[in-house]
């Protein structure tokens, strides 16, 4: 189940990355790079930080191929992409949670501490978008908008705790998927945010 959601998530993230590149008038090479960074950057950064080799898309080149195809399809369908804005919000929320669980599971399999497992999940879920925005010369959305990184941390933490309590892995995945996804969607609907720090000289 998680692997299927992962494939859907990297496809959706690649498409959002391609659209961001299009808003910056990038050429096709730039579109593909931004799409790949958005979809695979968080997992790549996680693997590098944890020393988990080979990184995901090197071990499974099909992930890279999927993101490239998704980027090119987005270019072709760009005139109608605005009709799918709500669908992308749902897929992004689902992807965030799935990435968080995968990142947490990898760190846990490496027998790292609970804190590192949570950070690993958050890094996987969030940093692809951070890298996308940095490369597109924008303030990362994760630092400005509704609860995002917090949802990732809580989801990863809940998953780690359920597994430590010997809850069945499949049930743990399902419970955390539903819980994290629901929290993210409610945060969007309610506009929940972390308090902002505003400093003026």
Where do the structural domains in the chain lie, given as residue ranges?
A: 2-190
Nearest to 89 by CA among 153, 15, 30: 15
The whole-model pTM stands at: 0.90
Q: Which residues of 54-93 are buried (b: 16+ CB within 10 A; e: fewer)?
A: eebbeeeeebbebbbebbbebbeeeeebeeeeeebeebbb
pLDDT score recorded for residue 60: 95
pLDDT score recorded for residue 194: 87
pLDDT in tens, 80-121: 988 888 888 888 898 899 999 999 999 999 999 999 999 999
Given a contact cutoff of 8 angstroms between Cβ atoms, the answer to whether 120 and 112 are in contact is yes
In angstroms, the CA 15 to CA 35 distance is: 6
> Considering Cα of 70, then 124, then 100, then 89, what sign does the dihedral take?
negative
Low-confidence ranges of the chain (pLDDT < 50): none
pLDDT score recorded for residue 54: 95
To the nearest 10 degrees (0 to 180), the angle between helices 114-135 and 28-50 is: 160
Q: What angle do CA 183, 184, 188 make, to 5 degrees?
A: 115
> Pseudo-torsion of CA 166, 172, 176, 179, nearest 10°?
-90
H-helix or E-strand containing 51? none
pLDDT score recorded for residue 81: 86
Nearest to 9 by CA among 77, 97, 105, 81: 97
In angstroms, the CA 158 to CA 160 distance is: 5
In angstroms, the CA 2 to CA 47 distance is: 19
Report the greatest alpha carbon distance in the chain.
54
């Amino acid at each position: 189940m998680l692997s299927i959601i992962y494939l859907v998530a990297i496809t959706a993230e690649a498409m959002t990355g391609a659209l961001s590149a299009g808003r910056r008038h990038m050429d096709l090479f730039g579109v593909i790079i931004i799409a790949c960074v958005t979809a695979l950057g968080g997992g790549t950064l996680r693997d590098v930080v944890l020393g988990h080799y080979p990184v995901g898309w090197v071990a499974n080149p099909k992930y890279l191929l999927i993101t490239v195809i998704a980027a090119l399809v987005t270019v072709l369908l760009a005139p109608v992409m605005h009709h799918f804005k709500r669908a992308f919000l749902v897929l992004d929320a689902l992807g965030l949670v799935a990435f968080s669980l995968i990142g947490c599971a990898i760190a846990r399999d490496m027998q790292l501490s609970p804190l590192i497992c949570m950070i690993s999940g958050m890094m996987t879920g969030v940093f692809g978008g951070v890298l996308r925005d940095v490369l597109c010369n924008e303030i990362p959305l994760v630092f400005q908008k509704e609860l995002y990184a917090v949802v990732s941390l809580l989801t990863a933490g809940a998953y780690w705790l359920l597994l430590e309590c010997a809850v069945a892995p499949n049930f743990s995945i399902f419970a955390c998927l539903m819980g994290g996804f629901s929290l993210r969607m409610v945060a969007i609907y309610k506009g929940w945010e972390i308090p902002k720090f505003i400093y003026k000289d």
